[in-house]
Amino acid sequence: MSGVKWEVVSFPTRKYELAIGAATDVSQDQFMDATNSQPPKFVLPNVKPIAIGNVTVDPPILQAPMAGFTNYAFRQIVREYGGSGLIATEMVNARGFVWLDENTPEHPERLWGVRDEPRPLAVQIWDNQPETMAKVGRRLVEDYRVSIVDINFGCPVKQVTEKAKSGSYLLRTPDKMGEIISEVVKACAPTPVTAKIRLGCTRDNINAIDVAQVVEGAGAAALTVHGRTAQDMFRGHSDWDRISEIRPYLKKIPLIGNGDLDSHQKVLHAFQNYDVDGVMIARACLGRPWLFSQCKAALLGEPVPPDPSLAEQKTCLLHHFDLIVQRFGESKGAQLMRRYACCYAQGRFGARHFRTHVAKVSTAEEFYSVVEEYFPVDKLDV
């Protein structure tokens, strides 16, 4: 491997964010008065900014909370490219938060940057104890001043479901979900509380319509639905027909669809063909944080920016690494970047070779060398 070390320069090399339609923590009317401009003209008549309590999400394109990925460094890069109406943290273990709060001067690592970063910002929490969830929700509102508290009822990972009886496990007990939401809503008022669910626990027990009504009845301000069951994990395809069927059963709150949105064409298709108020992009944005800006441009009927050049993508990756190192130091930062770097290379010629080498790095010097020598060439991996 070569010993070349990259010097990270000003980033990003392209600015995609548009002046109008930025997300804001005030009402849409207040936003329009403050900017003295007109609302963005979306090309589809059913697309418009969505109100989640007192938070206006504009455009109605949300970044999904993803454990192990959507930390402060990633969120900052998403903001630099622009296009997401609402950004979210990784999901935070409420019980772990309480233990740290009571026994140490530290708070969860997943809240890195939350106090100081721009708003609006959603923090997602999970557990199965209403009082614990309410306590953490209140702390997030009072201490961290978050815009939205989101409750995870969709995580299918066994550590959360089987061991902790939380996440998507709770879909089998809608009444318990309602109790949790109600307590968190009361503790966080007037800050809005939202929920994220799956269609159900299994294909034989799809109960998303019943759950959606419980969620709204308990006081949630929005509902996001991933179009798979917990049993599906991430196999198969997201069932957007099932997501769309929920809309008539919600009286006031917005419905946000999630699953398999990996291009601006699919985002347009979702709004054109399904009864949703907003969309949430998850795994597809991990190696393509510019995807939100492309989707926003498509919704506005503007020219869709092309993907950054390979050189620009490499610069983005190194910028990401620089942000991680600033927080965690070079050694831990290099180890953490193994997972992120693989996302940037996905789908490109030579990606497997790059993954093999980047998975072994343990120092900053090794990381820079691997990126310089093995980052994929600008071709699709076919």
| Domain extent listing, the chain | 28-300, 310-374
Mean pLDDT of 191-211: 97
Give the C-alpha separation, 67 to 90, whole Å.
Answer: 5
Rounded to the nearest 5 percent, the helix, strand and coil shares of the chain are 45, 15, 40
* Residues 195, 220 contacting (CB under 8 angstroms): yes
Give the C-alpha separation, 195 to 181, whole Å.
Answer: 8
Q: Percent of the chain, pLDDT > 90? A: 76
Q: Which of 126-140, 173-187, 337-351 has the lowest mean pLDDT?
A: 337-351
Residue 379 reports pLDDT greater than 80? no
pTM of the model: 0.87
Over the stretch 301-333, which tens digit does the pLDDT of each residue have?
999 999 999 889 999 999 999 999 999 899 999
Reported CATH class of domain 310-374: mainly alpha
The answer to whether 155 is a known catalytic residue is yes
Q: Map residue 63 onto helix, strand or coil.
A: strand
Which residues are within 8 A (CB) of 340 and not within 5 positions of it... i.e. 6 or more apart?
A: 69, 74, 286, 317, 320, 321, 324
Residue 85 reports pLDDT greater than 70? yes
Neighbours of 126 (CB within 10 A): 27
Query: For all residues of the chain together, what is the average pLDDT?
Result: 88
Of the residues 155, 285, 295, 343, only one is catalytic, namely 155
Quick one: pLDDT at residue 38?
A: 59
Give the C-alpha separation, 307 to 315, whole Å.
Answer: 13
- Cα dihedral sign, 254-19-24-125: positive
Residue 11 reports pLDDT greater than 80? no
Classify domain 28-300 at the CATH superfamily level.
Aldolase class I (3.20.20.70)
Tell me the H-state helices in 220-309: 240-244, 264-273, 291-300
Give the C-alpha separation, 114 to 290, whole Å.
Answer: 21
Give me 255's structure tokens: 């419905």
